[in-house]
Amino acid sequence: MLTVIPLRARISRDATMANTPTVPDATDMPNTGSAPAICTAVTPQDDHELAARHRAFLAAATSDNTRQAYRSAIKHYLDWGGVLPADEAAVIRYLVRYADALNPRTLALRLTALSQWHVHQGFADPAATPTVRKILAGIARTHGRPKKKAKALPIEDLELIVATLAARSTLKAARDNALLQVGFFGGFRRSELVGIEVDHIAWDAQGITITLPRSKTDQTGEGVAKAIPYSAGPCCPATALQTWLDAAGVTSGPVFRSISKWGVMGGDGLNPASVNTILAGAAQLAKLGYVPELSSHSLRRGMATSAHRAGADFRDIKRQGAWRHDGTVQGYIEEAGLFEENAAGSLLRSRVKLA
């Protein structure tokens, strides 16, 4: 949701975007005549509270990440010299100006933000015209390039990381070990991983069940439960998690917390961006050769590709990662089978002469 600006306001780079929407005064309420109390029941204070709740509900309809991306896009357009509301000609000039500098996917996001602003303000959408869309398609065909993907972390390399961390008897190593194992086997997004609290975890004889009260694919708060069994192998997320909780003395609140360079634990949960740093540091300790290619998403991709290689069912992989679209999971599976299910490989093997 973008901030509401009164209709007909002309917004430029120097103009504020924090205007508050006007709310009808209590005197504008219709007088029914039969029930005078209705006319006086709504006070100006009530109007103010209703307006605040109205804005809160509108804000809740859009995730924080999306809202931040839209605000950044609008700011970029205004900094360029654009004004709001915009017209088709201005949007085209903006696209042409940044066609060489920005990735077509970034430009598409900027157009979506502009479109949303106009729709929610009640203006005609200049970003949705056929000409604008055709120009964007032309830019994509001219300057399109492959999307940069985080490298999947295979389970074999996770085991190296786990062994390396287990050999270090520090509070940070215990936390990182638990975080990376839970993130990998739970298929958690980084925001979900750092948002786990003690009361989200249920322990039983088979393993742990972590119930997220809300996630990217569950914005209405129905809850998403992920089960992670115990294991006697090199990795056991449940055991690593219990070891961390016992060592840190965490009994409530956020599970994964900051630790200072002096080994002092903080009370707040980690920032989502910290997962990237923790994974990179652990991979460096384990002497993996592709640390710059890793990000927090490497855990989820690694779980999907490793699970496929281990024979896991498509449905089970999708459920563990809580992916919404089959195509996303299918892409990971195809990545995992690039060499196993390979026509060239079949041909090459068929030509090998038996000794």
Q: How many residues appear in the chain?
A: 355
Per-residue pLDDT for 35 more than 50? no
The superfamily (CATH) of domain 26-143 is Tyrosine recombinase, N-terminal domain (1.10.150.130)
Spatial distance between the Cα atoms of 345 and 341, rounded to a whole number of angstroms: 8
* Cis before 272? omega within 30: no
* Residue 2: pLDDT band with limits 50, 70, 90: very low
Kindly report the number of other CB atoms within 10 A of residue 275's CB atom.
Answer: 26
The Cα–Cα gap between 70 and 112 comes to 8
Q: In the prediction, which pLDDT does 218 show?
A: 46
pLDDT at 168 over 70: yes
What confidence tier does 336 reach under pLDDT thresholds 50, 70, 90? confident
- Would the pLDDT of 275 be above 90? yes
- Predicted confidence band at 28 (pLDDT cuts at 50, 70, 90)? very low
DSSP calls for 239-293 = HHHHHHHHHHT--SSBSSEEE-TTS-EEEEEPPTTHHHHHHHHHHHHTT-TTGGG
The pLDDT mean for the chain works out to 85
CB 99 within 8 Å of CB 142: yes
What is the CATH superfamily name and number for domain 155-336?
A: Intergrase catalytic core (1.10.443.10)
Give the mean model confidence (pLDDT) for residues 270-287.
96
| Residue 339 near residue 345 (C-beta atoms within 8 A) | yes
Give the residue, 162 or 347, on which the prediction is more confident: 162
pLDDT at 15: 54
- Name the pLDDT band for 354 (thresholds 50, 70, 90): low
Euclidean distance between CA atoms 114 and 94, whole angstroms: 11
User: How large a percentage of the chain has pLDDT more than 70?
Assistant: 84
Mean pLDDT, residues 302-313 taken together: 93
Q: Where are the beta strands (DSSP E) in the chain?
A: 201-204, 207-212, 224-229, 257-259, 265-269
Which sign does the torsion angle of CA 92, 94, 96, 98 carry? negative
Which is more confident, 354 or 178?
178
Dump pLDDT digits (tens) for 38-80: 444 556 777 888 888 887 777 777 777 788 889 999 999 999 9
**Residue 119 has what pLDDT?**
92
CA distance 119 to 310: 47
User: For residue 27, what are the contacts with CB-CB under 8 A and spacing of at least 6?
Assistant: none
Instruction: State the pLDDT at residue 81.
Output: 95
Contact yes or no for 106/64 (Cβ under 8 A): no
Pair of tokens at residue 109? 């996001």
Q: How confident is the model at residue 221 (pLDDT cuts 50, 70, 90)?
A: low
Query: How sure is the predictor about 20, in pLDDT bands with cuts at 50, 70 and 90?
Result: very low
Tens of pLDDT, residues 94-138: 999 999 999 999 999 999 999 999 998 999 999 999 999 999 999
Burial (Cβ within 10 Å: 0-12, 13-18, ≥19) of residue 242? middle
Handedness of CA 271, 333, 319, 251 (dihedral sign): negative
| 127-132 contacts at long range (C-beta below 8 A, 24 or more positions apart) | 127/86, 127/91, 129/88, 131/88, 131/92, 132/88, 132/91, 132/92, 132/95
Q: For the chain, give every residue range classified as CATH 1.10.443.10.
A: 155-336
Greater confidence (75 vs 11) lies with 75
pLDDT above 90 covers a percentage of the chain that reads: 63
Instruction: Tell me the pLDDT band of 222, cut-offs 50, 70 and 90.
Output: low
